[in-house]
Chain A
Amino acid sequence: MFIGTEQLTHTYMPGTPFSTTALQDITFNFRQGEFNLILGPSGSGKSTLIQHLNGLLKPTAGRVIFEGKNIGDNKKGLLYLRRRIGLVFQMPEEQFFSETVFDEVAFAPRNQGLTEDEVKKRVVEALSKTGLDLPGLSERHPFQLSAGQKRLVAIAAVLSINPEVLILDEPTVALDKSGRKSLFDLLTELNRKEGLTVIISTHHLDEAAALADRVLVLNQGKVVMSGPADEIFGRREQIYSLGLALPPVTEIMHALNEKGLTVKTAVYTLQEGRREIINALRRDRS
Chain B
Amino acid sequence: MTRSITLGQYIPGESILHRLNPRLKLLTLVLILIMLFFLETFSGLIAALGLALALYALARVPFSYLLRGLRPILYIALFALIIYFFFTSGGVVLFRIGFITIESEGVEQGLFIVTRLVALVLFSLLVTLTTTPLSLTHGMGFFLKPLRYAGLPTEEVAMIMAVALRFIPTLMEESQRLMRAQLARGADFETGSFFHRARNMVPLVVPLFVSAFRRADELALAMEARGFRIGAKRTRMHRDIITGQDLAALFLVLALIALALTYNL
Closest approach, in angstroms, between the C-beta of A34 and any C-beta of chain B?
Answer: 21
Closest Cβ–Cβ distance, residue A236 to chain B (whole Å): 35
A94 touches B184 (CB 8 A): no
Binds B, one of A9-17, A123-131, A184-192, A195-203: A9-17
Contacts of B6 in A (CB 8 A): 13, 16, 18
Q: Does A112 contact B (CB under 8 A)?
A: yes
Given contacts A13-B2, A17-B11, A18-B6, contact A95 B203 (CB under 8 A): yes
Query: Which residues of chain B in 1-60 are interfacial with respect to chain A, using CB atoms and an 8 Å cutoff?
Result: 2-3, 6, 11-12
Which of B85-93, B175-183, B219-227 is the contact stretch? B175-183
**Which residue on chain A has the smallest CB distance to residue B184?**
A87
Min CB distance B14 to A, Å, is: 12
Q: In the complex, what distance in Å separates the CA atom of A54 from the CA atom of B185?
A: 11
State whether the Cβ of A2 lies closer than 8 Å to any Cβ in chain B: no
A158's nearest neighbour on chain B, judged by CB, is: B185
For the complex, what is the distance from the CA of A240 to the CA of B202, rounded to whole Å?
44
Query: Considering the complex, which residues of chain B in the window 48-95 have a beta carbon less than 8 Å from any beta carbon of chain A?
Result: 62, 64
- Could you tell me how many residues of chain B have their Cβ less than 8 Å away from some Cβ of chain A? 26
B positions within 8 Å CB-CB of A: 2-3, 6, 11-12, 62, 64, 177-178, 180-188, 202-207, 210-211
Closest to A92 in B: B181
A residues lining the B interface (CB < 8 Å): 12-13, 15-18, 51, 54, 56-57, 79, 82-83, 86-87, 89, 92, 94-97, 107-108, 111-112, 157-158, 161
A8 → B minimal CB distance (Å): 17
Complex CA gap A82/B181 in Å reads 11
Q: How far is the CA of A95 from the CA of B210 in the complex (A)?
A: 9
Query: Secondary structure at chain B's binding surface: helix, strand, loop or mixed?
Result: helix
Task: Say yes or no: A82 contacts B2, CB within 8 Å.
Answer: no
Give A148 Cβ to nearest chain B Cβ, in Å: 19
Q: In the complex, A56 Cα to B62 Cα: how many Å? A: 30
User: B186 contacts A83, CB within 8 Å?
Assistant: yes
Q: Is the CB of A95 within 8 A of B182?
A: yes
- Cβ–Cβ < 8 Å partners of A12 in chain B: 2
Q: Which of A16, A56, A89, A161 contacts B3 (CB 8 A)?
A: A16
Choice from A56, A79, A86, A97 contacting B203 with Cβ under 8 Å: A97
Tell me, rounded to whole Å, the shortest Cβ–Cβ distance linking B215 to chain A: 11
Closest 5 CB pairs of A and B: A111-B186, A97-B206, A87-B184, A108-B185, A89-B181
Residues from chain A with a CB closer than 8 A to the CB of B180 are 51, 56-57, 89
Cα–Cα distance between A112 and B185 once the two chains are bound (Å): 9
**A107–B203 touching, CB < 8 Å:** yes
In angstroms, Cα B186 to Cα A18, docked, is: 31
Please state if B12 and A157 are interface contacts (CB–CB under 8 Å). Answer: no
List, in ascending order, chain A residues with CB within 8 A of B177's CB.
89
